Amino acid sequence: MATSTLFEYTVRDASGKLVSGKMEAADESALVSRLRAQGSAPLSIKQAGVGLNREIRMPGSDRVPLKDLAVMSRQFATMISSGLSLLRALTILAEQTQNKALAKVLATVTTDVQGGSSLSVAMAKHPRAFPPLMVNMTRAGEVGGFLEAVLLQVADNFEAEVKLRAKIKSAMTYPVVVFVIAIVAVVGMLLFIVPIFADMFSSLGGELPLPTRILVVLSDGLRFTAPGLLVLAVVGAAAWGRYRHHARLRAVVDPLKLRVPVFGPLFTKIALSRFTRNLGMMMRSGVPILQALEIVGSTAGNVVLERAGVALQESVRRGDSMAGPLTSHAVFPPMVAQMLAVGEDTGALDTMLEKVSQFYDQEVEATADALTSLIEPLMIAVLGSVIGAMIIALYMPIFSVFTLIN
């Protein structure tokens, strides 16, 4: 299969206007032929990303945020409903989007569609920009002739996901910030304040109280191990960022996340909300049930739900019900299995899934608010206790300083 190269071009269109853009082609002559076929007169063509024009790309820079995808989907649906052609709508989206990575991908998608590919096939070539959920729903919309409605559902889904993530961040920000401040304060006291007091106490003589001796030992140990601990923390963070999505690591970490004492119920409700919302939306859009179950497990963000999706897929393939396998997975409450069973009996499974997702969205919001209200005073008490205990341990010898001087 011939490889294509991305070129930057400047042309004069049929109206005499100068137009610049990017397009993939096998070589320059193929690009010239394609531009002339569009009624444009090529003025300059050069390969993109060569020499000083090469873009500096950071890891993850080609990923597109869900918020930008939601805005793009809603604008795309509006333009299609207004009577614009698919190519014209894609061109406008590529020109007006603020996200450079998305603009570049849309320009490539426009070229592929112009070359005869379907929209879903062109989008599937960019898995880091368009999630499988969006690609499969677009394919269903193309086949069924309701692409506009599908794009609106995609926008609603991504907006709900963005709102859910914002709730999670708001619930996690405060404890994380307080925890980091506590670590920095403790390390700062052990490295810079405790040694000053230790020198002063050693010059006075006498035996230090046990809490003070423990604090001095911790300070001495940290001064020697601080560089190694810093390197270990950096390496650990880099390794976690690189390998956290690997299947073997997720198989250990994801079940533990659902059993964490305080945040476990919140993580469970988030995963259930994503699972039911995505499955209901894909079924409502006409995506085949087996294909939807194959995709929806990975979108839940937890390997436990992914395994449940595989079990559901096998059950449906055998001709059994969907609700049956749910009872063998502890992550699904009985209410979910019962509502799915009712949905299968009444032929309104997508509606039941939507209701379940709405229920868990509300549960996530309520749980996040409750955790925030609980954690704020708890973290303040913990931080005050740690810092206060260190200060008391430092000042205990001072209470007998006059006795030592005499």
- Encode pLDDT of 180-210 as tens digits: 888 888 888 888 888 887 777 777 666 777 8
pLDDT category of residue 25 using cuts at 50, 70 and 90 = confident
> For residue 105, what are the CA distances in angstroms to 57, 63, 65, 119, 131?
15, 10, 13, 12, 13
Q: Do 8 and 48 meet the contact criterion of CB atoms below 8 Å apart?
A: yes
Strand-strand pairing, 41-47 and 5-12 = antiparallel
pLDDT reading at 355 higher than 50? yes
pLDDT tens for each residue of 316-341? 888 877 777 777 778 888 888 888 88
pLDDT attached to residue 201 = 73
Residue 15 confidence class, pLDDT cut points 50, 70, 90:
low
Give the model's confidence band at 14: pLDDT under 50 very low, under 70 low, under 90 confident, else very high: low
Q: Is the pLDDT of residue 56 over 70?
A: no
Distance between CA 234 and CA 228 in Å, rounded? Answer: 10
* Predicted confidence (pLDDT) at residue 406 exceeds the cutoff of 60: no
Res. 90: pLDDT tops 80: yes
Measure Cα distances from 110 to 71, 87, 104, 164 in Å.
18, 6, 10, 31
Tell whether the model's pLDDT for residue 168 goes beyond 50: yes
pLDDT at 344: 82
pLDDT above 90 coverage of the chain, percent: 0
Helix axes 264-284, 289-299, angle to 10 degrees: 150
Q: Give me 147's structure tokens.
A: 């692409």
Query: Under a CB-based contact definition with an 8 Å cutoff, are residues 148 and 74 in contact?
Result: no
Whether residue 52 is predicted with pLDDT greater than 70 in this model: the reply is no
Report d(CA 164, CA 255) in Å as an integer. Answer: 21
pLDDT at 158 over 70: yes
Name the residue type at position 281: M
pLDDT at site 61: 47
pLDDT at position 333, please? 85
What is the average pLDDT score of the chain? 80
Percentage of residues in the chain with pLDDT exceeding 70?
A: 90
Phi, psi of 386 (to 5 degrees): -65, -50
pTM: 0.65
Dump pLDDT digits (tens) for 211-262: 888 888 888 888 888 888 888 888 988 887 787 777 788 888 888 888 888 7
DSSP tally for the chain: helices H, then strands E: 17, 3
Q: Work out the average pLDDT over 73-88.
A: 86
Tell me what pLDDT residue 116 has: 81
| Predicted pLDDT at 229 | 83
Judge whether residue 57 has pLDDT over 50: no
Q: Where residue 16 falls among pLDDT bands split at 50, 70, 90?
A: low
Q: How far apart are CA 406 and CA 404, in angstroms?
A: 6
User: How do residues 265-292 score in pLDDT, each as one tens digit?
Assistant: 888 888 888 888 888 888 887 778 887 8
Which is more confident, 48 or 176?
A: 176
Q: What is the dihedral of CA 168, 172, 177, 183, to 10 degrees?
A: -140
Per-residue model confidence (pLDDT) at position 55: 43
Q: What is the DSSP string of 275-309?
A: HHHHHHHHHHTT--HHHHHHHHHHHTT-HHHHHHH
pLDDT at 53 over 50: no
Question: Quick one: tokens of 215?
Answer: 């604090």
Residue 58 pLDDT grade (very low, low, confident, very high; cuts 50, 70, 90): very low
Per-residue pLDDT at 51: 47
Asked whether residue 8 carries a pLDDT value surpassing 70, the answer given is: yes
| 263 has pLDDT over 50 | yes
> The tokens of 213 are what?
């001796």
Q: So what's the pLDDT on residue 291?
A: 79
Helices 247-258 and 303-317 cross at an angle (nearest 10°) of 100
